[in-house]
Amino acid sequence: NAGVTQTPKFQVLKTGQSMTLQCAQDMNHEYMSWYRQDPGMGLRLIHYSVGAGITDQGEVPNGYNVSRSTTEDFPLRLLSAAPSQTSVYFCAIRGQGAGTEAFFGQGTRLTVV
């Protein structure tokens, strides 16, 4: 039972390249979210999903795309990488309802040069 699995752990991209960060869960939780963490800024919500086929934008969605075709997977796509997207990315899952805790993946450290 791995919980939340993120791949890759590290990635270096050139400006303008695209890539997909993978997030997979085995806990059957409805809510899945992507956050980015920059020094001194905590975690900021990029996109989230409340169930398969349903996604919405968070606080900082520009430059990112998501889809959720299954309960288990929630990939994050960078369409055309920019240096400002250099960050650590975390995927999080939560069960349905307000009183549930989040479980996080171990993060993807992305550098855009």
Partner 1 sequence: SQQGEEDPQALSIQEGENATMNCSYKTSINNLQWYRQNSGRGLVHLILIRSNEREKHSGRLRVTLDTSKKSSSLLITASRAADTASYFCASIPMDSSYKLIFGSGTRLLVRP
Q: Which stretches of the chain bind partner 1, using CB under 8 A? A: 4, 31, 33, 35, 37, 40-45, 48, 50, 58-59, 88, 90, 92, 94, 97-99, 101-107, 109
**Given strand 76-78, what is the order of strands in its sheet?**
4-7, 19-25, 76-78, 64-66
Residue 106: CB minimum distance to partner 1, A: 5
- Cβ-based nearer residue to partner 1, 81 or 89: 89
- DSSP E strands: which ranges in 4-112? 4-7, 10-13, 19-25, 31-37, 43-51, 54-57, 64-66, 76-78, 87-94, 102-104, 108-112
What residue type is 28 in one-letter code?
Answer: N
- Cβ-based nearer residue to partner 1, 17 or 58: 58
Residue 16: CB minimum distance to partner 1, A: 27
- Cβ-based nearer residue to partner 1, 17 or 45: 45
Residue 44: CB minimum distance to partner 1, A: 7
Cβ atoms of 49 and 68 closer than 8 Å:
yes
- Cβ-based nearer residue to partner 1, 35 or 74: 35
Residue 39: CB minimum distance to partner 1, A: 10
| SS3 assignment, position 85 | helix
